[in-house]
Amino acid sequence: MTVVCRRTLLKGAAATCGTGLLAACAGGADPATPAAPAPAEAPPAGAPPPGGGSRVTLGQLSDIPVGGAVSVKAPNGDTVLLTQPKAGEVKAFSAVCPHEGCSAAPEGDHFSCPCHGSQFGLDGSLLQGPAREGLSSYAVQVVDGQVLPA
């Protein structure tokens, strides 16, 4: 059995692993490692993404009939119902029916859920059950004729 003294073992470890191990053991940061960048501020809603490009739009104001509605996909994949109660004013709602989660869709002057017949006004309010509440609001804004997530 070979006995190695502690000093010999530590010298060998330092020589093998280099000074990075010693710096890590000392608790200080390695001066060769660059500092992490500061977190970037989020751009204002509707602003173009960093580096140029176009904004993520839900649709064009001109594609939503005044007094009517359209169904669109949000950037996250959710279905959103857009209405234009009066010219230039847009309201949006999640298409998820609060009854059992089916997707409501525009049907003339209201939204209908094909699964169980619930109906909702273009303001998201409940018109007819079995749902017991209206549709959830979805925040949007209109910028330069584009409907954007807020």
For the chain (150 residues), the mean pLDDT of every run of 10, in chain order, is: 50 49 46 49 43 68 93 91 92 93 91 94 93 93 91
pLDDT given at position 56: 82
To which H or E segment does residue 7 belong? helix 6-17
Dihedral class, residue 98 (left if φ above 0, else alpha if ψ from -120 to 50, else beta)? alpha
Q: pTM of this prediction?
A: 0.62
pLDDT given at position 145: 92
* 14: helix, strand or coil: helix
pLDDT given at position 150: 84
Domains in the chain, CATH or no CATH each: 1-31 (no CATH), 59-149 (2.102.10.10)
